[in-house]
Structure 1
């Protein structure tokens, strides 16, 4: 799956009030690894920038004086995000602005152009209920270096978000195997009785056990406590 870590900066908080996108950034990720391909653009908004917004991202109208308008780079953005899964922190904000820009130009909305949208803010709230889940807070929680982030810039935020997303999703999603498998002839293998053979148990080597303990240490650090796997070790230790 091709994924795009995406962020925007804007002239204000609401596209319904005519606010516009002034910075777009996207980083391409394939198989959970950044490919090095990215798109980073500044755009002239054809309107003033709210002072509160400028204090957050530090982008002035003077800086944008010679930058292209959104309509001049829209095709480049559409080509970059097309058919990808978008990963965005507080997705309704960015998607709302992009849809407003696309609508002005008669371009289809994000849900039509892209495969899906993942909101890491929603994921974080589900994982850490009742805690602060801003991008800064998540970087601190996962011990991600954000020392270069003095202002909210779309590109640096994408780089940080890519690390946050990998940290949020590094656990195995499912321990179940899909049994409805095609054997290559178009026939489903579901429901077929296979010969049962004794399971061969291979004990972990000392090196593998050491690597396992080191990984559990990183999980402990990420949750600032003891990860759930520590509790599963206890019965085995007591039985020994």
Structure 2
């Protein structure tokens, strides 16, 4: 089984209008000895002419200056599509409500077809790992899984992807998450 664990940062929270400005994807293969990363995490800052909402910038710390000279989404989309087409699952924290819809809208806005892939949202599925079934934010999920979480490093796509992958695989080992082979 192959799983893509991903996170995106964006200009704001409107999945139909905002633009992805950072993406990170780690690809993992399940083997007898457990999950192993395939290669390194792909992390890309993405240029857009759309202004970054100041509230979003406070969260992820990415400014318009950070995006100067970076590729546009339409330039990185083919690589993202290629990764997603090869995976049994794409996993994100808040994926059902945010990551997967904004990816789909950004792909369609640039004329790409959205690839078909199975999705898994650790925010929704993580309720079983938290006190009284609370929907966990990423910090709470990490805590529940015994994964160190640094609030100073959080909300950048590469960091969030790394701690999410570790939480996902520990949660699967503990029986909180279940990824079934396609």
Matches within 5 A, 1:1-240: 1-16=1-16, 18-31=17-30, 32-84=35-87, 85-92=89-96, 93-110=98-115, 112=116, 114=117, 116-128=118-130, 129-131=132-134, 133-147=136-150, 149-171=152-174
Question: Which structure 1 residue ranges, 5 or more long, are not aligned?
Answer: 174-240
* Cα deviation code 1:118-176 (max 9, x no counterpart): 11111111443443511101212222112374341000001000111012111469xxx
Give RMSD over aligned pairs: 1.8
Q: Which has the higher contact order (CA 8 A, sep 6+)?
A: 2
The equivalent of 1:216 in structure 2 is none
Question: Which structure 2 residue ranges, 5 or more long, are not aligned?
Answer: 177-182
Ranges of 4+ aligned residues in structure 1 off by more than 4 Å: none
Q: 1:146 to 1:89 in 2, by over 3 A?
A: same
Answer whether contact 1:46 1:69 (CA < 8 A) is retained. no
For the pair shown, the structure with the greater C-alpha radius of gyration is 1
Count of residues in correspondence between the two structures: 169
Counting strand residues as a fraction of each chain, which structure ranks higher?
Answer: 2
Secondary structure, aligned partner of 1:45: coil
**What CA distance in whole angstroms lies between the structure 1 residues aligned with 2:62 and 2:91?**
24
* TM-score normalised according to structure 1 size: 0.66
Answer whether contact 1:149 1:156 (CA < 8 A) is retained. no
**What CA distance in whole angstroms lies between the structure 2 residues aligned with 1:77 and 1:141?**
30
**What CA distance in whole angstroms lies between the structure 2 residues aligned with 1:152 and 1:101?**
20
* TM-score normalised according to structure 2 size: 0.85
Answer whether contact 1:11 1:50 (CA < 8 A) is retained. yes
